[in-house]
């Protein structure tokens, strides 16, 4: 059986730089998504704590939010 000729595995410098930029971009996007998720979780936690401390019922709070009362039009 005849052996296949092996070719060296290489990449040109511009192609390697482009690949590195893509990897750095993907990493930055993932890091940003983690930060956004963490920020969203903290906001939800703050909102729930405020609801639990309130003397109003959940239904009263929900009704207030849905009615739009007290929201300034800009």
State the pLDDT at residue 70.
Answer: 58
- Ordered by start, the domain boundaries in the chain are 28-67
Q: Given phi > 0 = left and psi -120 to 50 = alpha, else beta, which region is 70? A: left
State the pLDDT at residue 69.
Answer: 66
Query: Is the dihedral angle over the CA atoms 64, 69, 72, 74 positive or is it negative?
Result: positive
State the pLDDT at residue 74.
Answer: 45
| Tens-place pLDDT, residues 5-60 | 777 777 889 999 999 999 999 999 999 999 999 999 999 999 989 888 989 988 88
Among the listed residues 70, 74, 51, the one whose alpha carbon sits nearest the alpha carbon of residue 62: 51
State the pLDDT at residue 11.
Answer: 81
State the pLDDT at residue 71.
Answer: 56
Half-sphere exposure of 28 (CA within 13 A, CB side): 6
Distance from the Cα of residue 58 to its chain's centroid: 28
């Amino acid at each position: 059986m005849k052996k296949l000729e092996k070719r060296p595995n290489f990449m040109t410098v511009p192609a390697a730089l482009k690949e590195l930029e893509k990897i750095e971009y993907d990493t930055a996007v993932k890091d940003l998504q983690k930060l956004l998720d963490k920020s969203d979780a903290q906001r939800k936690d703050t909102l729930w704590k405020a609801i639990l401390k309130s003397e109003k019922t959940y239904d009263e709070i929900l009704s207030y939010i849905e009615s739009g009362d007290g929201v300034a039009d800009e």
